[in-house]
Structure 1
């Protein structure tokens, strides 16, 4: 046993604690049970690993975390590239001779494509390995971003942004799969939180960093930065081990893509491509908990993240007459709020579930996790009210920090809801975590794509205060409402 393995075995956090486990019989061979006890400290694990050290569930903790961090960085970069042009909208609009609102569609198109394309990539990645395809997609996007830097037409720029999003959506396709393949049930909230916070912080870190680039180097270097990030991910995916693992099969498992022949993709013998496989995630539409979670996530993500990020140049940039660098400073508040939200989401929900299981005498009820989400809804509503009211009260040209405090509170709430509800949806579809993640991404990104088309008209008609009130109402009715229904039905089912 390696030193890192000894550390993992001795880690209390790695042990899956199940009440009254001594009275549970496991259908395992003595050798299998002995291996799990030596490797993990217990044989009572959910899901149950094989006795093969190559099984991703049996990897050392550092290796699992590194793999999840790679896909989290891929997710972060996807959101970073989608929102990174925001500080350059004014420059892009002038250069391409289009209205400012049309420049924002360069971000909207990526939001939409990223939501749809994972349905295409997921079956292919599960059949031929995730790492190789992700690495190739990153290399393609590296080249396309360089091409974007030299594009001189609006149509060409739009087409390149769409194609980049199509290839780079491999990270969204693999995210929930990799987390599910590398984590046990008791740590899933925290590990899903890494992936969720990467998505949320990517949307704010993009304009924050690129504002400085736009101010001091120009728009072309924003695209070059995207290209550098894609190339870094290409390197990371080539040296990472494959997480697609076929249990109980004699065919050799997919290995390290870097050590195989160039562009050689491993074949998963248990995954046969067919049209029904691409459509299979839609069967989860009949799963009430999953669909209610999707409705909530779509509403909250749109009004506690997208509206704050995409409309910030029009809301605060124009109101306070900010240049690209000063505009980028405004996103610090959203980054801080998202980071705080993660501390109040994944680790807290996992801790709460452990307490709930102990309180129920060892019975795990997935709806107990929803208690944590209510903190998020409160933060979203309070944050949006503060943001909207103080923007309406602001004097043009005189910057105030109060709207940013409201934005930070809303961002904190968004991250709490995102992490908790994503984990709840995955737990509501046992064995179908990847498909649940795909469906969430499709509906969430589609709704977010629609937002920028009506946000400017909403603000012009209702003002910031009225718009905040409308968004709070939507979050309360269509965000918190479905969660309350799921919570009540879940509690009644357990009590019956």
Structure 2
């Protein structure tokens, strides 16, 4: 007896749950039965298998380190796209091209970044998350090295598109990982951590600008990015385990509904949880893979997902209102935050009446830092609100229950844009730029996080196809805004004379 208890004590605790999805996608019955592991007083969902190799059963430290790796990858991927925006005038002079053409070194890699997911997401459905993650990181690293050594506009563009395309999966991957290894009640918070890394990627121009201060060329930015990408590749090799896992289908017996239990109580029967087949014999629990086994580069090919049909089906999600809402939200905020602010602020701040140095032109990223970090402590707001509303709804969870958390910041981003634009139009004090950007980024953080978590809750079974549509859509919108942004400003915009003098070095006509 004592020996058996000792053996049981050595076995890691495996979570159990009897939650189950309703007929409507996004609706989940989280009523806890006896013996269930719970969070916020509700049963865990998705229901984990009694298998230590199920990603839901992995220890917390492993889940968190994987999330950190893929989130930092998102930061590097995004910062490498937007960082060189402070070099546009330098590229224009060095390669003998117009500033609008030089801005293509930002816009086209940004578009390739979105289209990378079109191939890489179906690929990780077929051959697994781990091999595609490592392949993506290798491609990203190779592109950065190529960009650091490029000597022509064409060569730099090819290298930029190459590393942009390679890192295209870095925005889909963290969301997919959250979907694979975390429970429903953890999604909002974990997606929030990924989102802060995604958002901070827009601060790349800050680091790129200050790298010029040391007397180095624009190439130093790519050297530093490549160094971090190489270190992250090594960490991913050792810690990012394959998270693809096919759980057995839940049977009705394993998931009694609350209504059926209440019916038994009304009939005078003693409500007893049914026997759980997965708990009958602990000897059937598989052994946990060894560390060396988790380092395997290739797993089994999944023949069920169809590669090309996955690509084609993803386009149907453009017609799903929830997905289109997320696409429009991300695309506009990326176009405004990561591109418009980073394009226009260096132009305005280095011209009269401000006359800042070029190396200080990336300081607008400080405003982004302020906005994002003020929002960070509120990351779990939607999870807690949804849990509270689920409790009031007798344990039935609806995907929309997290959305009211967006209402308090609804008008803050538009107000920030007005402050920024008015400051630029009237050449007001530079703090107006910072206040406008901080307001916009504070509000955008919640819309990045909670809208994405809502979409994942709504279409849990089709997350991968949805992510393809989201990445294509938001990058296409931001590309459209970024491609003609400078021409738009020069013809219609905030201070035409100063901008033309700064970039063309000739007086306005």
Q: Cα distance 1:111–1:176, how it changes in 2: closer, same or farther (>3 A)?
A: same
Q: Whole-Å Cα distance in 2 between the matches of residues 120 and 256 of structure 1?
A: 31
Q: Whole-Å Cα distance in 1 between the matches of residues 145 and 206 of structure 2?
A: 21
Q: Whole-Å Cα distance in 1 between the matches of residues 176 and 492 of structure 2?
A: 42
1:388 matched to 2:421? The reply is yes
Q: TM-score, normalised by structure 1?
A: 0.80
Offset at residue 308 of structure 1 (A): 1.5
Q: Cα distance 1:256–1:380, how it changes in 2: closer, same or farther (>3 A)?
A: farther
Q: Whole-Å Cα distance in 1 between the matches of residues 317 and 226 of structure 2?
A: 36
Matches within 5 A, 1:6-45: 21=31, 37=37, 44-45=43-44
Q: Partner of 2:170 in structure 1?
A: 171
Offset at residue 350 of structure 1 (A): 1.2
1:439 matched to 2:464? The reply is no
Q: Whole-Å Cα distance in 2 between the matches of residues 68 and 133 of structure 1?
A: 16
Offset at residue 220 of structure 1 (A): 1.4
Matches within 5 A, 1:317-396: 317-319=350-352, 320-344=354-378, 346-394=379-427
Offset at residue 437 of structure 1 (A): 2.3
Q: Partner of 2:212 in structure 1?
A: 214
Higher helix share: 1
Q: SS where residue 402 of structure 2 aligns?
A: helix
Partners of 1:196 and 1:418 within 8 A in 2: yes
Q: Whole-Å Cα distance in 1 between the matches of residues 236 and 323 of structure 2?
A: 30
Partners of 2:81 and 2:106 within 8 A in 1: yes
Partners of 1:302 and 1:447 within 8 A in 2: yes
Matches within 5 A, 1:64-79: 64-79=63-78
1:157 matched to 2:167? The reply is no
Q: Whole-Å Cα distance in 2 between the matches of residues 386 and 232 of structure 1?
A: 40
Partners of 2:127 and 2:301 within 8 A in 1: yes
Find the partner of 2:300 among 267, 279, 282: 267
Q: Partner of 2:346 in structure 1?
A: 313
Moved more, 430-439 or 442-451: 430-439
Q: Partner of 1:183 in structure 2?
A: 182
Partners of 2:84 and 2:106 within 8 A in 1: yes
Q: SS where residue 412 of structure 2 aligns?
A: helix
Find the partner of 1:276 among 309, 313, 318: 309
Q: Cα distance 1:458–1:373, how it changes in 2: closer, same or farther (>3 A)?
A: farther
Q: Partner of 2:442 in structure 1?
A: 412
Q: Cα distance 1:21–1:141, how it changes in 2: closer, same or farther (>3 A)?
A: closer
Q: SS where residue 21 of structure 1 aligns?
A: coil
Instruction: Work out which of the two has the higher radius of gyration on C-alpha atoms and give 1 or 2.
Output: 2
Offset at residue 20 of structure 1 (A): 8.2
Find the partner of 1:458 among 488, 491, 496: 488
Partners of 2:211 and 2:220 within 8 A in 1: yes
Q: Partner of 2:236 in structure 1?
A: 237
Q: TM-score, normalised by structure 2?
A: 0.78
Partners of 1:114 and 1:445 within 8 A in 2: yes
Partners of 1:136 and 1:234 within 8 A in 2: no
User: What are structure 1's unaligned runs of at least 5 residues?
Assistant: 10-17, 25-32, 466-496
Q: Whole-Å Cα distance in 1 between the matches of residues 30 and 447 of structure 2?
A: 32
Q: Cα distance 1:268–1:248, how it changes in 2: closer, same or farther (>3 A)?
A: farther
Q: SS where residue 48 of structure 1 aligns?
A: coil
Q: Partner of 2:460 in structure 1?
A: 430
Q: Whole-Å Cα distance in 1 between the matches of residues 243 and 342 of structure 2?
A: 34
Partners of 1:88 and 1:324 within 8 A in 2: no
Find the partner of 1:400 among 401, 410, 430: 430
Q: Whole-Å Cα distance in 1 between the matches of residues 232 and 131 of structure 2?
A: 12
Partners of 1:349 and 1:369 within 8 A in 2: yes
User: What are structure 2's unaligned runs of at least 5 residues?
Assistant: 1-7, 16-27, 250-283, 496-509
Q: Partner of 1:139 in structure 2?
A: 138
Q: Whole-Å Cα distance in 2 between the matches of residues 196 and 271 of structure 1?
A: 31
Offset at residue 171 of structure 1 (A): 1.7
Partners of 1:301 and 1:414 within 8 A in 2: no
The structure 1 segments of at least 4 consecutive aligned residues displaced by more than 6 Å after TM superposition are 1-6, 39-43, 252-258
Offset at residue 445 of structure 1 (A): 0.8
Offset at residue 134 of structure 1 (A): 1.8
Offset at residue 140 of structure 1 (A): 3.3
Offset at residue 261 of structure 1 (A): 8.1
Q: Partner of 1:468 in structure 2?
A: none
Q: SS where residue 361 of structure 1 aligns?
A: coil
Q: Partner of 2:336 in structure 1?
A: 303
Q: Whole-Å Cα distance in 2 between the matches of residues 333 and 95 of structure 1?
A: 30
Q: SS where residue 431 of structure 1 aligns?
A: helix
Q: Partner of 1:15 in structure 2?
A: none
Q: Cα distance 1:394–1:437, how it changes in 2: closer, same or farther (>3 A)?
A: same
Partners of 1:375 and 1:413 within 8 A in 2: no
The structure, 1 or 2, with the larger RCO (C-alpha pairs under 8 Å, 6+ apart) is 2
Q: Whole-Å Cα distance in 2 between the matches of residues 253 and 128 of structure 1?
A: 23
Offset at residue 434 of structure 1 (A): 2.6
Offset at residue 248 of structure 1 (A): 4.4
Q: Whole-Å Cα distance in 1 between the matches of residues 136 and 314 of structure 2?
A: 23
Partners of 1:115 and 1:446 within 8 A in 2: yes
Q: Whole-Å Cα distance in 2 between the matches of residues 404 and 4 of structure 1?
A: 54
What's the RMSD between the two structures over aligned residues?
3.2
Offset at residue 315 of structure 1 (A): 3.3
Q: Partner of 1:247 in structure 2?
A: 247
